[in-house]
Amino acid sequence: MSDESSLTKTVDFSISGMTCASCVRRVEKVIKRVEEVDEVSVNLTLEQARVVLQNPDIIQQKINEIETAVKNAGYEAKWINPEEKIEDSSEATQHKDFLQWVIAAAFSLPLVVSMIVGSLHHGWMLPGWIQFLLATPVQFWLGRHFYVAGYRAVKAGAGNMDLLVALGSSAAWILSTVLLIGYYLNPTAHSEPHLYYESSALIITFILFGHWLEKRARHKAASSIRALQALRPDTVCKWVDGQEVIVPNEAMNVGDIVVVRPGERIPCDGVVYDGESAVDESMLTGEAVPVEKIKGDQVTGGSLNANGRLLIQVEKTGKETRLASIVQLVENAQASKAPIQKLVDRISAVFVPIVIVIALVTFFGWWIDGYLVEGLLHAAAVLVIACPCALGLATPTALATGCGAAARSGILIRDAEALERAAHIQVVGFDKTGTLTEGRLSVVSVIPTERFNAQQILQWTASLSLGSEHPLAKALLNKAQAENIELIIPESFRVIKDQGRGISGKIKDATFLFGNQKMLENLGLDGSQLPSDIQGATVSWLVRFKDEKYELLGVVAFEDHIREGADKAIAQLKAKQVKTVILTGDNEQAAYKVANAVGVDEIHANLSPEDKQKFIVKLGNEAGQKRSVAMVGDGINDAPALAAADLGIAIGEGTDVAAEVAGVVLMRNHPGLVAATIDIAQKTRQRIKEGLFWAFIYNIIGIPLAVFGLLSPAVAGGAMALSSVCVVMNALRLLRWKAQV
């Protein structure tokens, strides 16, 4: 599914210390300064950076340079080894964050009680020195991270959330301390001044609480990756000289025989060497019903052996397995950036400097009016309420959650742009065979011309099929085997592309050609003497080239079965106002039969791969209006159309070529997942829009309130933390989503 060269040039890092969109932009900036770095994408929700290098031969050197550059910028970067499982340290981090918040709350609670009681009973409050002792540890011990990160941001000529928190809380603490010292140095003072230690302590406390909730939610949003990685067992049981030997997963090689007992995960991609069992593939495909496996059947690493002992011959291990490809696709999607997020990043780059300017204007405005203390407090409230946490979390959290939810239902979305395009689809083009139909054809009729018989036609067509992997060829070989017909290996076998579609080869003293109606017409032959509309079946013609002339020998009719759920899938798309079209290389009768059965709006038959590509482009510009088009296919012949579409969707057991060019890969052969893809894309887009709305509305309302003195620093800190939590929790609603198929 993935291009090997691109994998060797892509390096992932875990990044710690980021708190907002400004941090994301800053980390990207310092990594881009490293030579040989081509692209950088930093994800706040996953706390990861994906770096694409120009030269894959110097990866280790560049890893060290990138880690150093990020460290100098005030963050920590650690290279993620793709061969190793990612150690999940988030539980320990969450526990540490929770403990810090509890301690901060314990110190802040007496200050809050003092503030409340003092407002009810004028003149009563905790002595100033006790307030100082309670607030100072919160400010400089529990809040030290904000100072360190804020200092590094200033040193690098940038601004971030930590800087705003440090400035805002420090303003309240410094003001209170100056007033307290002035009181103790003034022998004529009769009562302590009103202090604002509760504001400085509550700002830190609220934000620590918000960070803890955010990390919990972000951990949940990234759970799909960890769940997929957990499917690979650490050890395997190898069958060596009749003995079972437990070895590490890394010691398993292609060609080995491994033993998988009931209840164990299959550790590799391979084929059943011996045994029978039902295998649960739901974590990979979303299909809840276990699949029966017998000797010779393919199995996928990560699936669960349900009830029988299996011996499996290893075909793929490590990063070559289907599970590794799935993990890679989900990681790519969650680490990539939607176009809307790039706009948010540009906004956040200028947001912090603008907020600092507004805070300074607020301070001087109130000071000029004669309210120095109030000006300092209102400026602090501006700094705190404007922290761009929610702005940075809105898009990546929704993307990570949406892509994870889709993966659990067997929908793999390649990147954020594919997800965004899926939300706007107006037309869906379907290949017919293997997509709307099962793709397992059977021969229903063999009709010869007068000079020949059905046995001869079947022998020649099945012999030609020995060199082909096409579904029609498989159907002919099955029919010939059932009738015990002796086959002849053809010479000079080739696939016909330039004169319609079909195959040709030399059998004994003549060349035979077997293909579709277009091939027949290009050879200048008339097939009207034979029926070509047999119950809407797929038909192919057999022609012999002998004595310098072409001769029609007969026609073979094939029948395919409508895939279960295809009609419901088309109905779901129509309910979303999406137009459906069949684009097939088959004849019109067969296409109309399927279209009528499932309710497709429009069909185009007898198409070559190039014709399909042209129709996709035409559908996207029909009647002079630009429309967003998706193409659904499963074969090599669909690859050009998948690449030309706004969104390519490779379905089920499609070829690697189809999956490589597609933006979405469906892990099971169910057309209903097409509508589900559009549905999860639209819901994710809606969550992003809602998150950005709440992020902006908090600032639009909160900043003016703070400027005009209607918002205290403590309340601003709570509101800012609440905005981030609201945005993340809104995105997590996507975790409840399941494909309705």
- DSSP letters for 636-701: GGGHHHHHHSSEEEEETT--HHHHHH-SEEESSS-THHHHHHHHHHHHHHHHHHHHHHHHHHHHHH
Dihedral over Cα of 345, 349, 354, 355: its sign: positive
Tell me whether residue 525 is exposed, middle or buried, using C-beta atoms within 10 angstroms of its C-beta: 0 to 12, 13 to 18, 19 or more.
Answer: middle
Euclidean distance between CA atoms 129 and 176, whole angstroms: 11
**Strands of the 629-633 sheet, one edge to the other:** 411-413, 664-666, 647-651, 629-633, 427-430, 579-583, 602-604
Euclidean distance between CA atoms 24 and 10, whole angstroms: 19
β partners of residue 236: 247
Euclidean distance between CA atoms 386 and 186, whole angstroms: 37
Euclidean distance between CA atoms 602 and 291, whole angstroms: 35
Tell which phi-psi region holds residue 429, choosing left (phi > 0), alpha (psi between -120 and 50) or beta: beta
Q: Please, are residues 219 and 90 in contact by the beta-carbon 8 Å criterion?
A: yes
Tell which phi-psi region holds residue 287, choosing left (phi > 0), alpha (psi between -120 and 50) or beta: beta
Q: Please, are residues 582 and 430 in contact by the beta-carbon 8 Å criterion?
A: yes
Euclidean distance between CA atoms 447 and 454, whole angstroms: 6
Euclidean distance between CA atoms 628 and 616, whole angstroms: 10
Q: What separation in angstroms does the CA of 598 have from each of 301, 377, 444, 580, 601?
A: 34, 67, 22, 10, 10
Q: How many CB atoms are closer than 10 A to CB 624?
A: 5
Dig out the tokens for 20 from the structure: 């907002």
Residues in CB range of 519: below 8 A, 6 or more apart: 496, 499, 500, 501, 502, 513, 541, 543
- Residue 158 has phi, psi (to 5 degrees) of -130, 175
Q: Which residue is associated with the tokens 């894309």?
A: 681
Dig out the tokens for 547 from the structure: 């004595």
Q: How many CB atoms are closer than 10 A to CB 394?
A: 32
38 flagged as catalytic: no
Q: Which among 741, 634, 663 is positioned nearest to 413, based on CA atoms?
A: 663
Euclidean distance between CA atoms 520 and 533, whole angstroms: 15
Q: Which residue among the candidates 431, 560, 646, 679 is catalytic per the annotation?
A: 431
First to last CA, the chain: 25
Q: Please, are residues 502 and 514 in contact by the beta-carbon 8 Å criterion?
A: yes
Q: Which residue is associated with the tokens 């705190």?
A: 384
Assign 243 to helix, strand or coil.
strand
Q: Which among 142, 128, 203, 145 is positioned nearest to 170, based on CA atoms?
A: 203
- DSSP letters for 395-407: HHHHHHHHHHHHH
How many residues belong to the chain? 741
Q: Which among 727, 738, 733, 736 is positioned nearest to 45, based on CA atoms?
A: 727
Residues labelled catalytic: 431
